[in-house]
Amino acid sequence: MTDILLIDGDDARGKNMAQSLIKQGKETRHLTRLPSQNVLQEATCLICDEQTIDAQLAQAADALPVIILSATPSVRAAVSCIKRGAADYLELPISDDELIAAIERATANVSLTQHNTLQQFPMIGSSQPMLDLKQKIAKVAPTTSTVLILGQSGTGKELVARALHAGSDRASAPLISINCATVPHNLIEAELFGLEQFESQQGTHRGLVDAAEGGTLFLDEVGELPLAAQARLLRVVQGENRRVGSSATHTVDVRVIAATHRNLAQLTTSGQFREDLFYRLNVVCFDLPPLQARQSDILEIADWLLHRTCSRLNKEGLSFAEDAIRAMTGYHWPGNVRELENAVERAVILSDNHCEISQALLAIEPGSEMPVSADTARDSDQTSLEDYFVRFVLDHQDHLTETELAEKLGISRKSLWERRQRLSIPRRKTRKRGPRRDSKPDLKNGVE
């Protein structure tokens, strides 16, 4: 996310101010005209000259704090800008110290609830599943109910959790996120619930539950929690927390949102997940469809990602070629939106300005996998992500490298290795190669 978006019709003056802000440690992007609303929402503060933003000030001020710079200031213009939502009105030329102070005032005084709105978390897509999702988020966000988000990797579970927090009365309080699969089992309880002081330690370790007081705790991959941690989490959902090593409990006010790609109902049957916790978490359930199940959204998402990536990487005039469009709509997208985002970013990096992005730059092959219908995607008896992962790796490891497998799945090579270990998927031994052409004959054994 860009800290400062600087818009100045005077290109030389704008570049000088941007360089000064960068030297002050502010990530700053300089433009000569006002960008789209999506780009504005990615910044924390907008600095703009009066002439450029005049007609669009009110709309921009709804998205983020706006500081107006004027080469011809007047009291009437200053009052008008403040009334339309500007956070400050300053005269040009301006010193670096004055500009930094204005930025700090604007970002410190802004109400978090004003900017932590659902608009900050764009749900791109106009398909029926996406329309239903947006409506459901709008209904559930203002409540304090616990939420369970289901979906494959890369479908946007964390984005939904952030939107739920932003649309709630807790938006001005912290949103604390943790991926339960990344913390070792012997440390997860202390990390989440805190650690009471022992004789050999100084002070009490405050857990993430206490850090989220008054706000929201987002537990990604909650199905990976060990049973002991699940028992403690049940108490948190009920409004109490007990630190590790403590005999006393204390009340907490935390909304819990959990997410997983695993089938928790099956895990409760097998004894791997507490049934009482499952029912406590599953008050409201979001089942996110995979990207392939909402095919009509693929190009809309791709265009949005292309615009955002071009803005971030300062690329101009890029568009998708016809073969790229056919490839995107015909590809299975096992890594879902995250894989699409990686493909678009890779293509933008490798492209020159004012050219079309081809299928080769996207590095995807249409029709390489069987498409998944919306009905199949929503079937409760569908195979789990682990089953799909195992099948995909076994089917393709003979003709794809580990790096290529990871790219196809939309994950890192390290994640691929870790999942191989966890799911016990052996790597096929590389076939023995013949002797190198430039190697000398083995005369000792009579081999030429």
- How many CB atoms neighbour CB 218 within 10 A? 27
- The residue among 123 and 200 whose pLDDT is bigger is 123
**What is d(CA 419, CA 400) in angstroms, rounded to the nearest whole number?**
17
Q: What confidence tens digit (pLDDT) does each residue in 72-86 have? A: 888 888 888 887 888
H-only helix segments in 256-369: 264-269, 275-281, 298-313, 322-330, 336-350, 359-362
Residue 16 has pLDDT above 50, yes or no: yes
Where does the pLDDT of residue 226 fall: very low under 50, low under 70, confident under 90, or very high at 90 and above?
very high
Q: Of 19-23, 32-36, 347-351, which one has max mean pLDDT? A: 347-351
Model pLDDT, residue 121 = 57
Residue 438 has pLDDT above 50, yes or no: no
Query: Residue 310, SS3?
Result: helix
Q: CB neighbours of 302 closer than 8 A, spacing ≥ 6?
A: 320, 328, 340, 344
Distance between the two ends of the chain, CA-based, in angstroms? 63
Q: CB neighbours of 360 closer than 8 A, spacing ≥ 6?
A: none
For residue 83, give the H/E element and its range.
helix 75-83
Model pLDDT, residue 432 = 43
Q: Helix, strand, coil shares of the chain as percentages rounded to 5?
A: 45, 15, 40
329-335 mean pLDDT = 89
83-95 mean pLDDT = 84
Where does the pLDDT of residue 302 fall: very low under 50, low under 70, confident under 90, or very high at 90 and above?
very high
Model pLDDT, residue 166 = 87
Where does the pLDDT of residue 112 fall: very low under 50, low under 70, confident under 90, or very high at 90 and above?
very low
Q: 42 and 2 in contact (C-beta within 8 Å)?
A: yes
- The residue among 55 and 193 whose pLDDT is bigger is 193
87-99 mean pLDDT = 85
Q: What confidence tens digit (pLDDT) does each residue in 115-137 have? A: 444 455 567 888 888 889 988 99
Which residue from 281, 261, 161, 248 is spatially nearest to 212, judged by alpha carbons?
161
Q: What confidence tens digit (pLDDT) does each residue in 372-420 have? A: 444 444 343 334 456 667 777 887 887 888 888 877 776 777 778 777 7
Phi-psi region of 363 (alpha: psi -120 to 50; beta: other; left: phi over 0): left
Residue 150 has pLDDT above 80, yes or no: yes
The rounded mean pLDDT for the chain is 81
Model pLDDT, residue 377 = 41
Where does the pLDDT of residue 340 fall: very low under 50, low under 70, confident under 90, or very high at 90 and above?
very high
Q: 338 and 154 in contact (C-beta within 8 Å)?
A: yes
CA 260 to chain centroid, in Å, comes to: 15
Residue 296 has pLDDT above 50, yes or no: yes
The owner of tokens 């107006």 is: 68
Where does the pLDDT of residue 290 fall: very low under 50, low under 70, confident under 90, or very high at 90 and above?
very high
Q: Which two tokens stand for residue 282?
A: 């599953």
Q: What confidence tens digit (pLDDT) does each residue in 418-437 have? A: 777 777 777 765 444 444 44
Where does the pLDDT of residue 199 fall: very low under 50, low under 70, confident under 90, or very high at 90 and above?
low
pTM here is: 0.59
Model pLDDT, residue 145 = 94
**What is d(CA 327, CA 343) in angstroms, rounded to the nearest whole number?**
12
Least confident of 4-18, 277-291, 321-335: 4-18
- How many CB atoms neighbour CB 440 within 10 A? 7
**What is d(CA 436, CA 434) in angstroms, rounded to the nearest whole number?**
6
Instruction: For 339-405, give the secondary structure using H, E and C.
Output: HHHHHHHHHHHHCCCCCEECHHHHCCCCCCCCCCCHHHHHCCCCCCHHHHHHHHHHHHCCCCCHHHH
Residue 103 has pLDDT above 80, yes or no: yes
**What is d(CA 443, CA 441) in angstroms, rounded to the nearest whole number?**
6
Where does the pLDDT of residue 320 fall: very low under 50, low under 70, confident under 90, or very high at 90 and above?
very high
- The residue among 334 and 83 whose pLDDT is bigger is 334
Q: Could you tell me what percent of the chain has a pLDDT over 70?
A: 84
Model pLDDT, residue 164 = 93
